[in-house]
Each structure stands twice: as structure tokens, then as C-alpha cells.
Structure 1
Amino acid sequence: MAAVTDGPLLTKLDALEADLRRLGRVVVAFSGGADSAFLAAVAHRTLGAAGAHAVTAVSPSLAGDEEDDCRALADEWGLRWTPVITHEMERAAYRLNDTDRCFHCKAELMDAVGPLAAAEGATVVLGVNLDDLGDHRPGQKAAAEAGAEFPLVAAGFTKADVRAASQHLGLRTWDKPAMACLASRIPYGTRVSVGLLS
């Protein structure tokens, strides 16, 4: 990976690496988007394969090509990567599809990866950046309540910072468009079904 030479960006990258070293071992919720890919790459660079484990939640709400891209990125970057099946569709509150749908989805994610992280003595980390904090993100609340941490926020990264740092590090995800889950395309109040997701 190329070196980051921009002063403020380098300071944030140093802070991110320091926070990851503080955590020691992490399980990165890895969707393949720009934020989680950057976090997974830096965690791997900082902690190595023994300390950084990228995990992708696979369910009907994840576009099929996104799982394939996560697998490809893991191969390209040498990440320790595991796909895990999540079962948010079995949660009635998720299928109801009110404005807290993402809370129930992220709670399911944490239920799936939490035991894996606990077995490794690791902390679950998510690629949440500062720009995400102003949005309606009930999923962040669910993750935080379950003990997840947000290292990009702690290090002061905005979305633009993530993209710039990713480009400096030679990550092909630096300009990847935002890809919301398939359920986000269903209007609130319309019940989520596998048929609507496909």
C-alpha cells in the first residue's frame, strides 16, 4: 500500500491505528463498502491477520454481488475473512419495516458476530464515520448497545477522509458508490419479504 503524505489525513490515520492497537483484536463488520473496506484494510495492516478478522453478514438483504466483492477484496488484501449467515428475516420487528428496521438488523448482526468476537477476545468494530452521526441510524444504536466500537469516528474520519485515505493507500474501494442494503429500497410501512428483496 502507498504511504499517506497529507498531514491532517496522516494524523487521523495515525489516530486510527493507535485506536486499533488499543483494542488489540477486532472483528470488522465488512460489507465491502468504502468505509468498512477501509477499516478492514487498516485493521489488517495494523494488527495482522491474527488480530483483524473481517466478517460479512450474508442474508437476503445483501445484494449477491456484494458478497462476491467482499470475497474478492479479502483475497486481494490477504484479509482473514468469514461470511456469516444472519437471520433478520426471522425477526417480526424487522419484517414490520418501521423506522427502526435497521436497529433490528444490526441487533441480528451483533448476535451473529458477537460470539465469534468473544471467542477471539476481540471487539466488534463498524465503519461508521463522522458524517453518519447526523443521520437517522438506529443500527448504530443497536451496535453500540451490544458493545461495538466506531474507530473511524474516534479518529475523526469523515466520508471524504475515508475516500482520500483509501485512494492514498491504493484501495480500489476509494470511489465505490454507497450501496444501501436491499431492504432500504422498500418504503417504511411495507412489510419486508424475501420476494420484495429479490
Structure 2
Amino acid sequence: NTSDIGDHRPGADAAKKFEVRAPLKETGLAKDEIRALSAALGLPTADKPQMPCLSSRIPYGQTVTPEKLAMIEQAEGVLRDAGFREVRVRHHEQPGGALAKIELGQAEMERFLGGDLMASVSARIRDAGFAVVTLDTKGYRRGSLNEGIPEETLANG
């Protein structure tokens, strides 16, 4: 879709190289228009949260493996099962084991921090294979892995 034009998306470069078509982008529709059309047609996907490729949770330069993707998928499932809608779990390699950096929507952070939820969710994320679980206090930000990378680097892929 056209809402993603201008975003640094390494997968888009690969798709272009292999001539993968993007019909919704080709129509010129933006995300909000796609959601409105989906709602008008009564499709259950009209209110579905965005679900970009799980490899977008792994920082540049780190190897993407099926094991890491499974850990991320399981950890994000834990958060969704707890009722959170806007979630990302970033996978960071570090000495001693993988670190899970949780990003939640600003409106959901207070609920995560209150009561026993944080401890139980963190334990279940550790069960997914993460040695350390952290919460990014800036909350969910689209493209947060691009932060700190020079614009010219992003522009050149």
C-alpha cells in the first residue's frame, strides 16, 4: 500500500529484485482506505493490527534464523494473549543470551506496568527463550530499529 512508501524496508528491495507485485500499492490505496473498504465489505481483517514481517524485529547485521523468528512470534503471542494490541518484541543478541525489548502502544504501557501482569508476561517471554526481557519506555514506534542509522545509509539500502 502507499502508506509504506518512503519507509526503509529491506524486504521491498528484495521483492523489487524478484519482480514481486504489490497489488494494493499498485492501486494507490493507503492503509486507512484499505481498512475502510474492508469494513464496508464486512471483512474480519478491517480492524486487524499491522503484522509486518517478523524479521523486521531483528537489528541490521544480525543473522535472521528460524529459531529467532519463533522466539519473537511466541513472545508477541504472549502479549496479544494478555490483551495488548499494539506490540513488537525486538530480538537483540547479547553475551549471555537474547534480549527481548518489548514495545507497546503508549495507551497500553500503564496496564503492563500495573499489578502482576508485568512479572507473569515477562516470565512467559523468558520461556520463549529470551534471557533478558526489557520494556522500551518510549513505546512502540514504527521503524524504531532505524533510529540512529544515518539517512544516507537507509537510502542506499
TM-score, normalised to structure 2's length?
Answer: 0.39
TM-score, normalised to structure 1's length?
Answer: 0.32
Higher relative contact order, chain-length normalized (CA < 8 Å, sep 6+): 1
* Higher fraction of helix: 1
Larger Rg: 2
